Structure 1
Amino acid sequence: MRMCPEHGPPSEPEHKFCEVCGRNLMTGEAAPVEPVPTVWLSSRAGLACVGCGAAGTEMYCDNCGRRRSVGRDHAELDLTTVGAVTDRGRRRPRNEDAVVIGRYDGGLVSVVCDGVSTSTRSDAASHRAAEAGVAALLDALTSGADPADATVLGAHAAAKAARAAAGTDASDTPPSCTYVSGIVTADAVTVGWIGDSRAYWLGPEPDCLTVDDSIAGQLAAGRPAPATVEADPTSRALIRWLGADSDDAEPQVRSLRPSGEGRLLLCSDGLHHYLSEPAELAAAATGTPIEVARHLTAVALDGGGHDNIAVAVLSFPALGGSAP
């Protein structure tokens, strides 16, 4: 009789696989183990208070009363084929940008969120949204979802997390952020966004893949500005974002199948305020993903660093796949 060495005979003699562990009872081979996705975050949970050094996880330090920053002033995340850097910049009191990178058996993912500085505790919104977004992306992708569908699910999860960051606070400016996600597989790149954080394709025919959800961005793309806002062609004011004061959680989604190797760049406006042309970004994308992210962050800092900076770089094709 066929028998699993760990769980004994099957419940039915004709069964060819163990009902418990999936072992092949004909050959004795164990069931393949699915790799666990790897995720790195820019949040600083559990780190010491930047004011007095006391440890804790509450929003305010029990020792000195200073509000804890959710994100690190500077963080570097490196998973070889995907790397990211975020920095406080030179003029902000804390880093309110968030970046999360992930790698799974089939591709790479990342989310960049830019905390809206005019809102309260925007760092809480950006980190919660980024972490929830990547978690939902990986859950959907490893369950077999199409990247475009996974992108929508990721944005929905991020929007829910950003709204939850407000807690019971009834402020007129609850925590809010922008959102951009990227998925790279062996043959395609898929991005989704809400706000003015951007995605760029850096490879053959470099291109900006996103259209800013601002008045200026919509007008520059030949789209009419919403009737509810004054159509100032120079205004960078957001018309879409994530937070308790926004009920728009539907991302714009774009996919492409590149003709050759390249990089997908996700970034907050702390970078594209200084360097926004796709060709110039592509020319700067030399070295490993983490080296590119470091270099672009340095460009923003050297340019003035007026805002927080978040940069994620994903290699295409993912995991050694071949481009079509």
Structure 2
Amino acid sequence: MGRDRADLDLGAVAAVTDRARRRRNEDAVTVGRLGQTIAAVVCDGVSTSLRADLAAHAAAEAALAAILAALGNGAAAPDAVLASGPAAALAARATAVEDDGQVPPSCTFVAAVVTAGSVTVGWIGDSRAYWLGPDGAVHEAVCLTVDDSVVGQIRAGRPVPPGAEQDPTSKALIRWLGADSSDAEPQVVTFQPGRPGRLVICSDGLSHYLPNAGALAARVPGPSGATPIAIAQDLTRFAVEAGGHDNIAVAVLPFPPTGGSAGAGA
């Protein structure tokens, strides 16, 4: 299927990426499982950079490999997610060449690890992670990430770095991965859910149409409903039919993790 469309299904975790109405797909997603722990990474190529798809794919693959290696060596989930940031940053930077000038390949990054007792998310940029509670609990849905953009920081009441555009509606990124960025340490959130639910991580090709966690939760059946791959496919279909202005990448991770095939998709 190439990179225009990919459906990844490990049973316990699943993902979809789709070109939508763009000329090419600059989003990338990887999923994996180690024992009863599941993981996923979404990277969204920055459209104003050159060969953004290369940065996104390299970063997503390197990040998942780092997560699974760290977990395999006994690291806790938050430490595994932290380790994936530098791995993704290094891989994204490696796609640059001398002639790229001021616009080398770059991307955003969000990674997730779900264990039998916890949910951990790390990010750099404006790709997002949403926690969705049990069936019908739309009010329990929450966006776990804060966009590393001017508007995202202002809405969260956080200071904007000196020199950043002060327009409160600006979506300009203040953190990303690439040769023109020194960022490598993701912001990390971890918690222990009291009830079953689902974690959805995605690029802004989906969050543009479902920016509110409650609206996203209303489209996603609870843990007793559809499978992760069916949910990922439905959300992708929704984004395409809503306009498909951008590439889409979405991964669905149930909590607690269910059974499924071991391995990784890219």
Q: TM-score, normalised by structure 2?
A: 0.92
Matched with 1:83 is 14
Question: Which has a greater percent of strand?
Answer: 2
Identity %: 62
Q: Distance in 2 between matches of 1:124 and 1:112?
A: 13
Q: Distance in 2 between matches of 1:227 and 1:304?
A: 35
Equivalent residues, number: 250
User: 1:104/1:221 Cα in 2 relative to 1: closer, same or farther (>3 Å)?
Assistant: same
- 1:257 equivalenced with 2:192 (yes/no): yes
How far did 1:145 drift? Answer: 0.3
- 1:210 equivalenced with 2:176 (yes/no): no
Q: Which runs of 4+ in 1 moved over 3 A?
A: 167-170
By relative contact order (CA 8 Å, sep 6+), the higher-ranking structure is 2
Runs of 5+ in structure 1 lacking a partner? 1-41, 45-71
Write the mapping of 1:156-167 to structure 2, written as runs, cut at 5 A.
156-167=86-97
Q: Distance in 2 between matches of 1:294 and 1:106?
A: 23
Runs of 5+ in structure 2 lacking a partner? 135-139, 260-266
Q: Distance in 1 between matches of 2:20 and 2:101?
A: 27
How far did 1:142 drift? Answer: 1.0
Q: Residue type matched to 1:73 in 2?
A: D
Contact 1:183 1:191 survives alignment (8 Å): yes
Matched with 1:47 is none
Q: Distance in 1 between matches of 2:154 and 2:102?
A: 28
Contact 2:151 2:170 survives alignment (8 Å): yes
Q: Residue type matched to 2:194 in 1?
A: S
Q: Which moved more, 1:161-170 or 1:97-106?
A: 161-170
Matched with 2:4 is 73
Matched with 1:145 is 75
How far did 1:269 drift? Answer: 0.2
Among candidates 285, 307, 310, match of residue 246 of structure 2: 307
Q: Residue type matched to 1:282 in 2?
A: A
Q: Distance in 1 between matches of 2:144 and 2:214?
A: 13
**Structure exhibiting the larger radius of gyration computed from Cα positions:** 1
Deviations 1:100-152 (A, max 9, x none): 00011130000000000000000000000000000000000111001111111
Q: Distance in 2 between matches of 1:288 and 1:235?
A: 36
Q: Residue type matched to 1:78 in 2?
A: D
Among candidates 154, 161, 164, match of residue 84 of structure 2: 154
Q: Secondary structure at the match of 2:214?
A: helix
Q: TM-score, normalised by structure 1?
A: 0.75
Matched with 1:59 is none
Deviations 1:168-203 (A, max 9, x none): 444210000000000000010000000000000011
Contact 1:107 1:319 survives alignment (8 Å): no
- 1:186 equivalenced with 2:125 (yes/no): no
Q: Secondary structure at the match of 1:318?
A: coil
Matched with 1:177 is 107
Q: Residue type matched to 2:32 in 1?
A: G
Question: Which has a greater percent of helix?
Answer: 2
- 1:94 equivalenced with 2:29 (yes/no): no
Q: Distance in 2 between matches of 1:117 and 1:170?
A: 14
- 1:109 equivalenced with 2:44 (yes/no): no
Q: Distance in 2 between matches of 1:170 and 1:96?
A: 17
Q: Residue type matched to 2:59 in 1?
A: A
Among candidates 295, 303, 308, match of residue 234 of structure 2: 295
Q: Distance in 2 between matches of 1:131 and 1:125?
A: 10
How far did 1:262 drift? Answer: 0.8
